[in-house]
Amino acid sequence: MADWRSVMTKWCEDMTAWCKIMTKWREDMTEWREGTAEWRKDIIEWHIEMTEWHKDMTEWRKEMIEWRRDMIEWREDITEWRKVMAEWRKVMKKWRRVMKKWRRVMPGWREDMIEWRRVMKKWRKDISEWREVMAEWRKVMTEWRKDMTEWRKACSWWRNTWFWFWRTWPGNWLRVVDVRAEAELEQVRREQEKAEEFAKNIEAESGIDYGWACQYAKDDYERIYEATKELDAKADSVIQYVSALSALVTGALIYGSKVSASMSEPAWVSAILVIAAAPFFAFSVSAICIAIDARKPKLHPHPPKPEDAVRYADYHGSNAETLFIGQYASAAAGLKVVAAEKGDKVQRAYRQFARAVIALSLPWLAKLIASFLGG
């Protein structure tokens, strides 16, 4: 037991010493941990500072790259500038040579300028006098304008008389444009546009018999085509009538001139007859020209060709004949435009022919007046 107690006592002493050592170690570890914590804070701050430094260095590198580029451009600019300066120096050398000559010329130029100033003073005096003259002229022109205004008011009756004479002058009958006919043609053209739109948008409904409509469209086209042919025939007849009448009148004038010569009548009688027949020939030529224009060959609108009709039937099938009404309607509307133009021209040709017939009375009146004056 004594040994056991001594052993235990020693063990307790050792454990006490160990506890002291451990306590000191714990105190040292606590200090070490505190130091380590401070070190970590310092390291974190250092990392933050290094990060900022890296950013600053990156910006600095970018700035340095830009600076190098600027320096390269600056060097290029300096090189160009040196070239320009070299050229400028050459020019300056030439300029100095020219300046020497210019200095020699300058005295003469100064004398010329002095003379020019004298001339300018004289010119200014002349201009002042001219302005005074122009002021007087303006006053005179103002008075003249007032007089002209009064004269125009006094002559207003003459202008009205002249305008009335011009409106009623028979020569205006030879005009080519007829406003009413143009309006009718415009209406026919609008109908043609409607027919073309109808041909594009036509649709066939099932259960309805369109046979009579198809036949009506064909008959309508044939009717307008026959009317166009009749208009051509009428224009041809106008040409024949006017030509025959012109030949007769020409023969009559020639025969009348020979009779006048055989009867020893004055020469002015024949001249008056020819002048009096001039309106007849003018209306005759106008009628023939208009009729020829009406007879001028033109491209007449017509329905599609047979081969196109076959393709149309293949494409539309059983409704092809019904839908083909639109093609006939479009062709008939286009042919109606041609017929309207021909009809207007034929109508104007007949009017000119009628005026030519009326103008035949002028030579007879001239003959009577000449006989009265000669008698």
Q: What is the pLDDT of residue 174?
A: 42
Asked if 199 and 330 count as a contact pair (C-beta separation under 8 A), the reply is yes
Average pLDDT, the chain: 76
Comparing 226 with 132, which gets the higher pLDDT? Answer: 132
Give 58-71 as a DSSP string.
HHHHHHHHHHHHHH
Which pLDDT tens digit goes with each residue over 234-293? 888 888 888 888 787 777 777 766 666 666 555 556 666 767 777 878 888 888 888 888
pLDDT on residue 170: 43
Q: Where are the beta strands (DSSP E) in 56-135?
A: none
Ranked by mean pLDDT, which of 179-183, 348-352, 368-372 comes out on top? 348-352
The per-residue pLDDT for 25 is: 93
Of 201, 204, 200, residue with least CA distance to 320? 204
Task: Say which residues have a Cβ less than 8 Å from residue 88's Cβ, sequence separation at least 6.
Answer: none
Is the pLDDT at 374 greater than 70? The verdict is no
* Amino acid in the structure at residue 19: C
Mean pLDDT of all residues in 126-136: 90
- Give the residue from 374, 370, 353 showing the smallest Cα distance to 294: 353
Query: Nearest 5 degrees, angle CA 349-CA 351-CA 353?
Result: 70
- In one-letter notation, the amino acid at residue 71 is M
pTM metric for this prediction: 0.43
* pLDDT mean over 66-70: 93
pLDDT in tens, 46-65: 999 999 999 999 999 999 99
Neighbours of 231 (CB within 10 A): 22
How many whole angstroms separate alpha carbon 156 and alpha carbon 164?
A: 12
- Residue scoring higher pLDDT (50 or 302): 50
pLDDT at 375 over 70: no
* pLDDT for position 150: 82
> Looking at per-residue confidence, does 82 or 153 come out higher?
82
Reading phi first (left if > 0) and then psi (alpha if -120 to 50, else beta), residue 175 is in: beta
Which range (112-121, 161-170, 183-192, 265-274) has the least confidence?
A: 161-170
pLDDT of residue 168: 42
According to DSSP, residue 204 is labeled -
Residue 40 has what pLDDT? 92
Tell me: pLDDT of 336 over 80: no
* Cα–Cα distance measured from residue 169 to residue 164, given in angstroms and rounded to the nearest whole number: 8
Which of 173-182, 263-272, 330-339, 350-359 has the weakest average pLDDT?
173-182
Rounded to whole angstroms, the Cα distance separating 184 from 291 reads: 19
216: pLDDT strictly greater than 50:
yes
Q: What share of the chain is helix, strand, coil (3-state, %, to 5)?
A: 90, 0, 10
For residue 340, which of 238, 227, 223 has the smallest C-alpha distance? 227
Average pLDDT over residues 115-120: 91
Across 29-38, 144-153, 247-256, least confident range: 247-256
Write out the two tokens for 269.
């009688």
**pLDDT confidence of residue 109:** 86
Query: What is the Cα–Cα distance from 233 to 231, expressed in whole angstroms?
Result: 5
Q: What is the mean pLDDT of residues 71-83?
A: 93
Q: Tell me the mean pLDDT in the region 114-138.
A: 90
DSSP state of 303: P
Report which listed range, 19-33, 165-179, 209-223, 254-268, is most confident.
19-33
Region 367-371 average pLDDT: 65
A 10 A CB-CB count for 344 gives: 19
| pLDDT bucket at 85, cuts 50 / 70 / 90 | very high
Rounded CA separation 364/276 (Å) = 9
Q: Quote the CA–CA distance of 100 and 106 in Å, as a whole number.
A: 10
Of 9-13, 106-110, 150-154, 289-293, least confident by mean pLDDT is 150-154
* DSSP assigned state of 296: S
99 versus 217: the higher-pLDDT residue is 99
| H-helix or E-strand spanning residue 329 | helix 325-359
* Closest-CA residue to 339 (of 178, 215, 192, 176): 192
pLDDT of 171 > 80? The answer is: no
130, pLDDT greater than 60? yes
pLDDT surpassing 50 at residue 179: no
Query: For residue 77, is pLDDT > 90?
Result: yes
Higher pLDDT, 73 or 310: 73
pLDDT digits (tens, 9 = 90+) for 345-354: 888 888 888 8
Chain centroid, CA 236 distance in Å = 42
